[in-house]
């Protein structure tokens, strides 16, 4: 197809326009984060105000919130990814009674919104003393990630080479050894994608930590930010700095491994 220079120029104009639309609001919050905290600070001048981040870290207690987020994310990623690999292995490679119905149950979890079960979940967790604990915040999110993760890992195991599995089996390897020594190492890209998506969803989650820790004992970073917005009303610099801090971990990982995020979110969209 012959393409005119005009067409090519149009393409770049369109792309640059949409890139600017996306980057604009991000630019606003970043520039506020580097701006002066008050009018008196503004008069002193002094370029970029890096101290905003340190101040937000301490005054906004983001050190505490980020620590909670790291702990919760670690728990969710470890539990969800381990369970998903094991369950995906069973669904993808093995034949057993009830596999169809059981898999449909897992698919249900991908589509059901959190709002469907958050209300009884809170009251039941409260009666067993799990609210306001890291586990109370983490385990429901692990359950949600297991739904997607099982679906995701099953797809990987189904695409894995049957010949290799057969060969290992003839060598006398048991199912667990085949999984650990052959399929998991071969499936590193798929597993990495799952780790990244689970980390991102957990880090960004809002409703579950909000409901599961009403006392604020386990306040994750997004929650801390929302709380800080309500509490701190002197200027916007520290709020913006806090917002940048909350977004930064996922954005950094995204910049380096964006292929995994994009392919995971697009291929992972359930189409069954």
Positions 67 through 126 that interact with another protein (CB under 8 A): 79-80, 82-84, 86-87, 89-103, 105-106, 109, 111-124
Q: In sequence order, what are the residues at sequence separation of 6 or more whose Cβ sits closer than 8 angstroms to the Cβ of residue 266?
A: none
Interface segment toward another protein; rule CB under 8 A; list 15-23, 36-44, 51-59, 60-68: 15-23
Which residues 6+ apart lie within 8 Å of 125 measured at CB?
131, 136, 212
Minimum CB separation of residue 170 from another protein in Å reads 12
Taking residues 156 to 175 in sequence order and writing x for each that binds another protein by CB under 8 A, - otherwise, the string is --x---x--xx--x----xx
Joined tokens for residue 70: 């790291």
Q: Does 188 bind another protein (CB under 8 A)?
A: no
Smallest gap, in angstroms, from Cβ of residue 78 to another protein?
A: 12
The least distance separating another protein from the CB of residue 266, rounded to whole angstroms, comes to 6
- Told to check if 148 binds another protein by CB under 8 A, we report no
What 38-46 contacts at long range (C-beta under 8 Å, 24+ apart), as own/partner pairs, is 38/234, 38/235
Read off the DSSP letter of residue 114: G
**Residues between 18 and 37 that touch another protein (CB under 8 A):** 18-19, 21-23, 25-26, 28-29, 32
Residues in region 220-239 near another protein by CB under 8 A: 221-223, 225-226, 229, 236, 239
C-alpha–C-alpha distance, residues 240 and 220, integer Å = 17
How far does Cα 137 stand from its chain's mean position? Answer: 14
Largest distance between two CA atoms of the chain:
78
Size of the site for another protein (CB under 8 A): 107
Position 129 contacts another protein (CB under 8 A): no
Triad 79, 71, 66: Cα angle to 5°: 140
* Residue 54 near another protein by CB under 8 A: no
Backbone φ and ψ for 51, nearest 5 degrees, come out as -65, -20
If the CB atoms of residues 52 and 150 are measured against another protein, the closer one turns out to be 150
In whole angstroms, the minimum distance from the beta carbon of 164 to another protein comes to 12
């Amino acid at each position: 197809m012959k393409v005119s220079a005009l067409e090519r120029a149009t393409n770049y104009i369109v792309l640059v326009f949409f890139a600017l639309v996306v980057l604009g609001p991000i630019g606003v919050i970043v520039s506020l984060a580097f701006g002066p905290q008050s009018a008196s600070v503004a008069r002193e001048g002094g370029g970029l105000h890096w101290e905003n981040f340190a101040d937000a870290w301490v005054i906004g207690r983001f050190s505490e919130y980020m620590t909670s987020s790291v702990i919760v994310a670690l728990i969710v990623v470890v539990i969800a990814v381990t369970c998903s690999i094991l369950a995906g292995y069973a669904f993808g490679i093995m034949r057993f009674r009830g596999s169809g119905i059981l898999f449909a149950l897992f698919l249900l979890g991908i589509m059901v919104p959190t709002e469907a079960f958050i209300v009884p979940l809170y009251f039941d967790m409260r009666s067993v003393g799990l609210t306001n604990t890291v586990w109370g915040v983490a385990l429901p999110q692990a359950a949600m990630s297991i739904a997607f993760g099982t679906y995701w890992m099953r797809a990987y195991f189904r695409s894995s080479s049957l010949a290799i599995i057969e060969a290992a089996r003839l060598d006398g390897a048991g199912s667990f050894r085949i999984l650990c020594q052959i399929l998991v190492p071969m499936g590193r890209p798929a597993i990495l994608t799952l780790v990244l998506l689970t980390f991102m969803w957990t880090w960004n989650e809002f409703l579950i930590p909000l409901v599961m820790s009403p006392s604020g004992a386990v306040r994750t970073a997004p929650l801390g930010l929302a709380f800080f917005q309500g509490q701190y009303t002197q200027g916007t610099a520290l709020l913006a700095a806090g917002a940048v801090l909350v977004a930064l971990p996922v954005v950094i990982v995204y910049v380096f491994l964006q292929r995994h995020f994009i392919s995971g979110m697009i291929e992972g969209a359930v189409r069954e």
